[in-house]
């Protein structure tokens, strides 16, 4: 089938590449002409494991192409996936202007009946409002607005797209549902659960999913604070909890907090949506509060062990909000960097993929070419992102590089016994510290 994809960001590009991979003819569009030109040359706009290879395969097979033309995108297409941004307004509500404009542009140039697919994260009621707005254009072709939320994790977006747990589509039209089911048939036949609902349910399910996952992370981070006060080990507590199949261990890793573009934005938008419907969803505000406190707790540990932060060299290992991506948007590491810089520290960071993005966001941040360069003469190092290469550090070399062998582990990545044996003062999250003595100065 021929389909169009509008927007080639963190949702649109994986969507386009995977739809082409499963056999569809896909034309992906973006208004950013430089981004389209780069993609035609095989240059990715962001790092995502396996993305470049899958895009190249689609182009070589003649099933994936890129354009800045709406007419080319929808010519002969049965569906157009709307994957444009929904940034927060000053109120915290999702800004749907880009979704409306993209849909209007597509409907005006459609060459036949068309399914408009909400892939962007939008609040419940968007499809209904969008349908009313589009009908004013009096197009000669029929169109259906359906909700098909994405459940991708950055760093594994290709895997999540190729082998999702479920495919959720909301529509009141049996005809539109049939088209969507046919588009996803190769994925459904591989075992993905097909869930067809009404539109509002599908729209709400996306926000509810992200809010619930955010809540699990914040619960674990609050639990870590309690473990630190009581002397318990949060990893063992979570292991005991997770042995109950009703709970599980996923998204219960205590740390420096969640970041990225989706969770913070969607959590606030969900709360504003509840407000609009007259329900005070206070739990969501507490989730955000606990997440903010996770970064503050790491800062306090640095302050406690360093005493005075002015002119102290602090190394941050990991700058992206999670491993497997170069995305630094709302990264806890960068928030920590800003807090340290405000208190007069000299902050150096290293990330396998995100150095350039991090330095653009935090100009006062120094970046190193490798992890040992970041550790050189550092009085304290903080593990902010659980990149695998940090777990494989040569601890002897790392200790020799540092002015003081002090590591604060914001992700519980390291083996406490190994850190102790290597002579580190090791301060994990929600676990008993090792080798803690008076501050070094």
130-172 per-position pLDDT tens digit: 988 888 877 788 999 999 999 988 888 999 999 999 999 999 9
Residues with catalytic roles: 262
pLDDT in tens, 208-234: 999 999 999 999 999 999 999 999 999
Domains in the chain, ordered, with CATH?
A: 2-197 (3.40.50.720), 198-224+252-441 (3.40.50.720)
| Average pLDDT score, the chain | 94
Q: Which residue has the higher pLDDT, 166 or 261?
A: 166
pLDDT digits (tens, 9 = 90+) for 329-342: 999 999 999 999 99
Q: Span 226-249, mean pLDDT?
A: 95
Kindly report the three-state secondary structure assignment for every residue of the chain. CEEEEECCCCCHHHHHHHHHHCCCEEEEECCCHHHHHHHHCCCCCCCECCHHHHHHHHHHCCCEEEECCHHHHHCCCCEEEECCCCCECCCCCECCHHHHHHHHHHHHHCCCCEEEEECCCCCCCHHHHHHHHHHCCCCCCCEEEEECCCCCCCCCHHHHHHCCCEEEEECCCHHHHHHHHHHCHHHHHCCCEEEEECHHHHHHHHHHHHHHHHHHHHHHHHHHHHHHHHCCCHHHHHHHHHCCCCCCCCCCCCCCCCCCCHHHHHHHHHHHHHHHCCCCCHHHHHHHHHHHHHHHHHHHHHHHHHCCCCCCEEEEECCCCCCCECCCCCCHHHHHHHHHHHCCCEEEEECCCCHHHHHHHCCCCEECCCHHHHHCCCCEEEECCCCHHHHCCCHHHHHHHCCCCEEEECCCCCCHHHHHHCCCEEECCCCCCECCCCCCC
């Amino acid at each position: 089938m021929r389909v169009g994809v509008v927007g080639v960001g963190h949702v649109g590009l994986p969507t386009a590449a995977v739809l082409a991979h499963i056999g569809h003819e896909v034309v992906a569009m973006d208004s950013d002409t430089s981004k389209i030109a780069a993609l035609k040359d095989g240059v990715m706009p962001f790092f995502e494991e396996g993305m470049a290879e899958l895009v190249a395969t689609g182009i070589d097979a003649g099933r994936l192409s890129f354009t800045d033309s709406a007419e080319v995108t929808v010519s002969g297409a049965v569906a157009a996936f709307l994957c444009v941004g929904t940034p927060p307004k000053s109120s915290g509500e999702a800004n749907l202007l880009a979704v409306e404009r993209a849909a209007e542009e597509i409907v005006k140039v459609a060459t036949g009946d068309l399914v408009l697919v909400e892939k962007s994260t939008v609040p419940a009621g968007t499809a209904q409002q969008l349908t009313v707005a589009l009908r004013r254009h009096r197009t000669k072709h029929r169109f259906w607005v359906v909700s098909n939320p994405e459940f991708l994790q950055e760093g594994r977006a290709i895997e999540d797209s190729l082998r999702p747990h479920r495919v959720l589509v909301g529509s009141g039209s049996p005809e539109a549902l049939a088209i969507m089911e046919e588009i996803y048939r190769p994925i459904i036949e591989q075992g993905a659960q097909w869930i067809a609902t009404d539109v509002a349910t599908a729209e709400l399910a996306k926000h509810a999913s992200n809010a619930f996952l955010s809540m699990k992370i914040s619960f674990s981070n609050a639990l870590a604070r309690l473990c630190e006060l009581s002397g318990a080990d949060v990893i063992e507590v979570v292991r005991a909890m997770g042995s109950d199949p009703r709970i599980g261990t996923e998204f219960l890793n205590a740390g420096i907090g969640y970041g990225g573009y989706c969770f913070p934005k969607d959590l606030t938008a969900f709360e504003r949506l509840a407000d609009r419907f007259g329900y005070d969803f206070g739990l969501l505000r507490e989730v955000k509060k606990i997440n903010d406190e996770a970064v503050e707790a790491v800062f306090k540990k640095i302050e406690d062990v360093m005493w005075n932060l002015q002119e102290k060299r602090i190394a941050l290992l990991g700058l992206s909000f999670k491993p497997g991506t170069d995305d630094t948007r709302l990264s806890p590491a960068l928030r920590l960097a800003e807090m340290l810089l405000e208190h007069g520290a000299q902050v150096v960071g290293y990330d396998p993929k995100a150095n350039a993005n991090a330095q653009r966001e935090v100009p006062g941040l120094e970046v190193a070419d490798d992890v040992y360069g970041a550790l050189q003469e550092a009085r304290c190092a903080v593990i902010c992102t659980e990149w695998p290469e940090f777990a494989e550090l040569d601890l002897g070399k790392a200790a020799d590089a540092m002015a003081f062998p002090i590591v604060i582990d914001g992700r519980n990545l390291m083996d406490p016994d190994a850190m102790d044996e290597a002579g580190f003062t090791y301060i994990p999250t929600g676990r008993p510290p090792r080798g803690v003595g008076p501050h070094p100065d």
